[in-house]
Structure 1
Amino acid sequence: MSHDTQSVDPAPELTHFRDGLPRMVDVTGKAATSREATAEAWVRLPAPARAALEAGTNPKGDPLVVARLAGLAGSKRTADLVTLCHPIPVTGADVQVTLEPAGVRVLATVRTTAPTGVEMEALTAVTVAALNVYDMLKAASKAIEITDVRLLAKSGGKSGDYQVGSDQPD
């Protein structure tokens, strides 16, 4: 009886685990380069929440202004919230929070000059901003939904540029 033997490739080395334990990737030897990332999130508003926002009758104040400030702060606190994320200098951030027909759109662009990217900072910015919209309007409706949190684009770094809709970084 003969057995076909196939070689089995060893499991790929995991970047954030070594010997089964989590670790922070060492970026000491990587050059600091200019990097930018843009992310978005949507806050879907039921009619009562939208009405309160449009009428300016929200008792807590303007949710869009608070969310913008929260998003900016969130971009700088990412390493405190994402366990294996490196603390990096956020050298620039822009958070836009706008009321659109589909709901509240949150858009954040974050920049750095660092040895690692700012995708997580941009994603954290939009998520924290969206959570603040919810918090500010939850008295009007608990059915508010935070949806479609995603990276839209990134530039810089080893993996190159990315735009939403492309399958792989360039």
Structure 2
Amino acid sequence: MVEFTHISDGRAQMVDISAKSDVVREAVATGKIYLRPATLAAIREGIVVKGNALATARVAATLAVKETPRIIPMCHTIQLGAIVVDFKEGDGFIEAFVRAKSTGKTGVEMEALTGVSVALLTIWDMVKSAEKDENGQYPVTRIEGIRVVEKKKGTTPAAA
């Protein structure tokens, strides 16, 4: 059984960003899901039992980016300008990339990270029947390396 140690949570609050200027902001996050070779082949060939795993993950990631402030309590609501979700197959894994862009007072890192996390979880959900061993366990399947790989803070938008 896993034991948990209580950590005092102190207080929580949103950071006041009202005095900051609106600027163009962009973040790219990535992460990997490791899968069995047969599962990777099924994704590549479009024969996953539940349907198109990457198309479903792309939509799920887009929705997750848009809903980030609803699931991360101290995250500000922002006006998103663009969301791009892409995938790359590597040696034993699929890597997800999410680029989020906004013009505002705060960054979009949490949105990009949330998008990647949900994309990878969606892939797992789409292929879990193929990933389980005879005991119902996942000996190969794992998600790793979720991180921000790029963050840009640009210029103030031009006046209309």
What TM-score results when the alignment is normalised by the length of structure 2? 0.81
Q: After TM superposition, where is structure 1 displaced by more than 6 Å over at least 4 residues in a row?
A: none
Distance in 2 (CA, whole Å) between partners of 1:139 and 1:92 is 33
Give the structure, 1 or 2, with the largest relative contact order (CA under 8 Å, sep 6 or more): 2
Q: Which position in structure 2 is the counterpart of 1:40?
A: 30
1:129 aligns with 2:123: no
Contact 2:37 2:92 in 1 (8 A): no
Query: Unmatched 5+ residue regions in structure 2?
Result: 1-8, 133-137, 155-160
1:25 aligns with 2:22: no
Q: Deviations over 1:47-96 (max 9, x none)?
A: 34224323432111110111111111111111111121101111111000
Bigger-Rg structure (1/2): 1
Distance in 2 (CA, whole Å) between partners of 1:95 and 1:136 is 17
Query: How far off its partner does 1:140 sit?
Result: 0.5
SS at match of 2:80: coil
Q: Which position in structure 1 is the counterpart of 2:147?
A: 150
Q: Which position in structure 2 is the counterpart of 1:64?
A: 54
1:141 aligns with 2:138: no
Contact 1:52 1:140 in 2 (8 A): no
Equivalenced residue count is: 139
Identity %: 35
Distance in 2 (CA, whole Å) between partners of 1:54 and 1:109 is 23
* Superposed CA RMSD: 1.6
Query: How far off its partner does 1:110 sit?
Result: 0.6
Distance in 2 (CA, whole Å) between partners of 1:56 and 1:113 is 37
Contact 2:36 2:92 in 1 (8 A): no
Query: Unmatched 5+ residue regions in structure 1?
Result: 1-16, 158-170
SS at match of 1:79: helix
What does 1:26-105 correspond to in 2, within 5 Å?
A: 26-105=16-95
SS at match of 1:86: coil
Matched to 2:153, the amino acid is G
